[in-house]
Amino acid sequence: MTLTEKVNITTGTGWAMGPCVGNTGPVPRLGFPSLCLQDGPLGIRFADKITSFPAGITTGGTWDKDLMRLRGEAIGAENRGKGVHITLGPAMGPLGKHPAGGRNWEGFGSDPYLQGVAAYESILGIQSQGVVATAKHFIGNEQEHFRQGPGAISANIDDRALHEIYLWPFQDSVKAGVGAVMCSYNRVNNSAACQNSWLQNNILKDELGFQGFIMSDWLAQMSGVASVLAGMDMAMPGDGLTWDDRVPLLGPRLTEAVLNSSVPIDRLDDMVTRIVATWYQLGQDKNHPEPNFSSWTKNTTGNIYYGSNEGPVGIVNQHVNVMADHPTTVARKVAAEAIALLKNDKKTLPLELPMKIGVYGEDAALAPGGANVCADRGCNQGTLAVGWGSGSTDFEYLVDPLSAITKKAQSYGGKVTAILQNNATDVIAASAKKQDICLVFVNADSGEGYIQWEDVAGDRPNLTTQKGGDDLVLAVANNCDNTVVIVHSVGPIIMEKWVNKPKVRSILWAHLPGMESGNALVDVLWGSTNPSGKLPYTIGKSLADYGPYAGVLYTENASPPQQDFLDGVFIDHRHFDANKITPRYEFGYGLSYTTFSYSNLRKTKKGSFSPLPAPRPGASAKPPTYSSKLPRPDQCTFPAGFTKINRMIYPYLESADTVKVGPYPYPEGYTKKQTPSQAGGAEGGNPALWEVLAEVSVVVKNTGKVAGAEVAQLYLGFPPNAPVPFPPKQLRGFEKVFLKPGESQKVTFALTRRDLSYWDVTRQNWVIPNGNFAVMVGTSSRKILAQGSLAGDGYY
Ligand code: BGC
């Protein structure tokens, strides 16, 4: 490739200058296409005839690895069908440090292990379909206030918390072979994530052995040369410091920087190799469809380059239906299997055949304007099925709870009375008295910070139900003997006002179920699916219970704003456990219509618990080498007779005269040969970290009368005299098993070296502490039903 061809691959063509939310420059001479980058984590944004899958948080709530994989496969298949090369998901940051964080729902839950397993399975699923997955947002992007631009917040994270909490799922992603990583908007330790050399060059590319490419989040780049030298490989969407400005920081500026020697040519070659190799590795050189949809219009024809505001005109939407049968089944299954049954007094659920059913609350039905009433789902109206922002989709349809419940009731002659106005509490109270069963719907919504709905500026301002949900529940529960509360939520809510009311018999936590919402709920309500969801985060009794550092920073405390992650490795359930705070419902909690017993805990050591992993292996392959000869500047100007498309970003120089050859000082240390990390050595880090050093097994038995699935969870208590403090319990394994009544099954958990280690900031490596590990297996983080210990090997 020529210099300008190479540069073109690294730079977006500009906002809306192609069918997708991000489009790279092509190399027509060699048949290398413009790559289509499209949101998002739960399905294809801005497209028709697609599935709106349950959100990440819902998927995490299934605790089901097979379903996580299947959902990934289905998302991958739909993206491929629409011609997407690179899907902008899964999201694993925010991880959920702040329970009110606006985008937590895009990821899988507030625990690094759960988040990591779900990311791993999703990526394997997506990439099995020939679509590149993107692990995002790297890293520390825990809140939406002060999310971007010159005033972007600095997430100040210590090295241990970085490794054990926030980086953990990215490590799993690299282990899964993820093709792309998106660097985030925020600063980390006061250096912008996309120009943070320590994080990108050292941690991601050396220590974790990441072989793919790093793209910027949309306009997250704060510089040109500095970002490139710090390891960023692709600028998205190609514009510069402000939205749609067409003043690129790469593109022609990168051409110039290579020509004047401020960016070494081998760095550009590395960027391009990472992108092109990923394209080959995913088989996209063979029959990958061209994008057949437009993010910018639903019309069939329109301007090919929408953002140019002029022709050529052509077919921009082929309306290809990619909703194969299996995605819809998967969507319904994930939504149903995620529902957590939090309370079920007097075995109120499953419903038998109640004749008089009251359905209350706006969240039960579609908004009057339909499921797509607000752009990017940026308002809370009608039943809540996804949060808002780039991580949402347009709904092809949305099965709302009321329709599905009505259909079910009609099938046996039951009668549904629905009152949807949340504030009609008097009418609701009167109606509730007359019902056999009352289903009351409440919710809480949030999303990406470029949209504000009422007082929810991305992050939630509090953890209460929205739209008067608490009063609504009370109006029902004070009057109806059999009240079932159904919650659709982006995260935890405080339910202290009503949770212990005696007539609140049952609570179903349905998360963000996606388009099959109502069907999945009916499956659980009437028991064709026995609930098996477990909470992917802790539900506290107050926000304060999450600890002094769990709050979103809402007001500027410095310029740029500073968020010190002083909770370290003690977030969510780790904080509750360490401080002996009783949550309302603990992490990993969820009931079933049946019961399970645990027995026969067995532990087998498979390897030595030596403190340090084996030394980093040598490189198994040599990077390719290329000629370092630079072209003449006049070979990098617009070719003669070239017709420009209005507002398109090109790699060419306007004039060769702007190139002033160096020398330019590189940042200090840039030319120094760095010592590779001992924690590295392969994709996912040192392969020794993935060696299984112990196995734990337990027998789970269904002791009840109906079939159902149980999620057995393994928590480790680290040795008490270790040099650093540990949370009392760290999740290190989970398996979901489906059991018929009376059936039992052995469940086995494999513990890797990483699972048994902490990040030693002095040794800069994963270290197994000396001493005995407590092994705790149970049905939630607080209901341990089998325990034992694993002895260390006496190392000091
Ligand atoms: C979001 C990303 C998204 C990108 C492209 C950004 O605002 O933070 O998650 O992928 O936009 O839409």
Q: Which atom of ligand 1 is nearest to the CA of 40?
A: 10
Q: What is the pLDDT of residue 779?
A: 98
Mean pLDDT over 365-385 rounds to 97
The structural domains of the chain, with segments of one domain joined by +, span 3-315, 339-582, 598-611+681-790
Q: What is the pLDDT of residues 676-730, one digit of tens each?
A: 999 999 999 999 999 999 999 999 999 999 999 999 999 999 999 889 999 999 9
Q: What is the pLDDT of residues 48-79, one digit of tens each?
A: 999 999 999 999 999 999 999 999 999 999 99
24, 37, 39, 214: residue to mutate for ligand 1 pocket, most atoms within 8 A of CB? 39
Phi and psi torsions of 302, nearest 5°: 175, -175
Q: How far is the CA of 38 from the centre of ligand 1 (A)?
A: 9
Mean pLDDT over 378-392 rounds to 98
Q: Is the CB of 21 under 6 A from ligand 1?
A: yes
Q: Quick one: which of 145, 144, 122 has its CA closest to 135?
A: 122
Q: Is the CB of 39 under 6 A from ligand 1?
A: yes
Q: Quick one: which of 718, 712, 705 has its CA closest to 790?
A: 718
239 Rama class: left (phi>0) / alpha (psi -120 to 50) / beta: beta
Phi and psi torsions of 240, nearest 5°: -95, -120
Give the C-alpha separation, 258 to 255, whole Å: 5
Q: Quick one: which of 678, 675, 674, 673 has its CA closest to 617?
A: 678
- H/E stretch holding 408 reads helix 401-411
Residue 294 contacts residue 100 (beta carbons within 8 Å): no
Q: What is the pLDDT of residues 399-412, one digit of tens each?
A: 999 999 999 999 99
Q: Is the CB of 217 under 6 A from ligand 1?
A: yes
The protein residue whose alpha carbon is closest to atom 6 in ligand 1 is: 218
Give the CA distances from residue 8 to residues 31, 247, 599, in Å, rounded to whole numbers and listed in that order: 13, 15, 60
Q: Is the CB of 278 under 6 A from ligand 1?
A: no
Q: What is the pLDDT of residues 638-648, one digit of tens each?
A: 999 999 999 99
The residue assigned the tokens 């709870």 is 401
Q: How far is the CA of 168 from the centre of ligand 1 (A)?
A: 22
Q: Which atom of ligand 1 is nearest to the CA of 137?
A: 9
Q: Is the CB of 470 under 6 A from ligand 1?
A: no
Residues that are catalytic: 217
**Quick check: 266 pLDDT over 90?**
yes
Residue 774 contacts residue 717 (beta carbons within 8 Å): yes
Token pair in block for residue 440: 């009351």
Confidence of residue 621 (pLDDT cuts 50, 70, 90): confident
Token pair in block for residue 562: 């500073």
- H/E stretch holding 745 reads strand 744-752
Q: How far is CA 661 from the centre of its chain?
A: 44
First to last CA, the chain: 55
Determine whether domain 3-315 maps to CATH 3.20.20.300.
yes
Torsion on CA atoms 658, 664, 668, 669, rounded to nearest 10: 100
Confidence of residue 148 (pLDDT cuts 50, 70, 90): very high
Q: How far is the CA of 425 from the centre of ligand 1 (A)?
A: 40
Q: What is the pLDDT of residues 535-553, one digit of tens each?
A: 999 999 999 999 999 999 9
Residue 53 contacts residue 392 (beta carbons within 8 Å): no
**Quick check: 93 pLDDT over 70?**
yes
DSSP 48: S
Q: Is the CB of 144 under 6 A from ligand 1?
A: no
Nearby residues of 764 by Cβ (< 8 Å), 6 or more positions away: 677, 678, 679
With a threshold of 0.85, does the pTM exceed it? yes
Give the C-alpha separation, 71 to 64, whole Å: 11
The residue assigned the tokens 């002029």 is 310
Token pair in block for residue 744: 């039992």
- 680: three-class secondary structure by DSSP: coil
DSSP 175: H
Give the C-alpha separation, 335 to 317, whole Å: 30
* DSSP line for 277-343: HHHHHTTTTTTPPPP---SS-SSSEEESSGGGTS--EEE---------HHHHHHHHHHHHHH-EEEE
Q: Which atom of ligand 1 is nearest to the CA of 45?
A: 12
Confidence of residue 796 (pLDDT cuts 50, 70, 90): very low
Give the CA distances from residue 796 to residues 714, 752, 754, 770, 792, in Å, rounded to whole numbers and listed in that order: 26, 20, 18, 6, 10
**Quick check: 220 pLDDT over 70?**
yes
Q: What is the pLDDT of residue 793?
A: 77
Q: Which atom of ligand 1 is nearest to the CA of 390?
A: 12
- H/E stretch holding 225 reads helix 225-229
Query: Domain 598-611+681-790: which topology?
Result: Immunoglobulin-like (2.60.40)
For the chain, the C-alpha Rg in angstroms (whole number) is 27
- How do beta strands 313-315 and 340-344 pair? unpaired
Bridge partners, 23 (sequence order): 36
| Homologous superfamily of the 339-582 domain (CATH) | Glycoside hydrolase family 3 C-terminal domain (3.40.50.1700)
DSSP 165: I
Q: Which atom of ligand 1 is nearest to the CA of 91?
A: 9
Q: How far is the CA of 484 from the centre of ligand 1 (A)?
A: 37
Q: How far is the CA of 284 from the centre of ligand 1 (A)?
A: 23
Q: Is the CB of 390 under 6 A from ligand 1?
A: yes
Side chain identity at residue 203, one-letter code: I
Phi and psi torsions of 677, nearest 5°: -70, 140
Where are the strands (E) in 139-268, listed by range? 154-156, 180-183, 187-188, 191-192, 213-216
Q: What is the pLDDT of residues 319-346, one digit of tens each?
A: 999 997 676 799 999 999 999 999 999 9
Q: Which atom of ligand 1 is nearest to the CA of 22?
A: 5
Token pair in block for residue 539: 């539900």
Q: What is the pLDDT of residue 428?
A: 98
- 405: three-class secondary structure by DSSP: helix
Bridge partners, 134 (sequence order): 180
Q: Is the CB of 127 under 6 A from ligand 1?
A: no
Q: How far is the CA of 745 from the centre of ligand 1 (A)?
A: 43
* DSSP line for 80-138: HHHT-SEE---B--S-SSSTT-TTGGGSS-S-HHHHHHHHHHHHHHHHTTT-EEEEEEE
Q: pLDDT averaged over the chain? A: 97
Give the CA distances from residue 769 to residues 163, 376, 677, 724, 755, in Å, rounded to whole numbers and listed in that order: 16, 47, 20, 9, 12
Confidence of residue 795 (pLDDT cuts 50, 70, 90): low
Q: Is the CB of 111 under 6 A from ligand 1?
A: no
Token pair in block for residue 576: 């509750």
Phi and psi torsions of 719, nearest 5°: -55, 135
Give the C-alpha separation, 8 to 679, whole Å: 34
Q: How far is CA 480 from the centre of its chain?
A: 39
Q: Is the CB of 134 under 6 A from ligand 1?
A: no
- 496: three-class secondary structure by DSSP: coil
- H/E stretch holding 575 reads helix 573-578
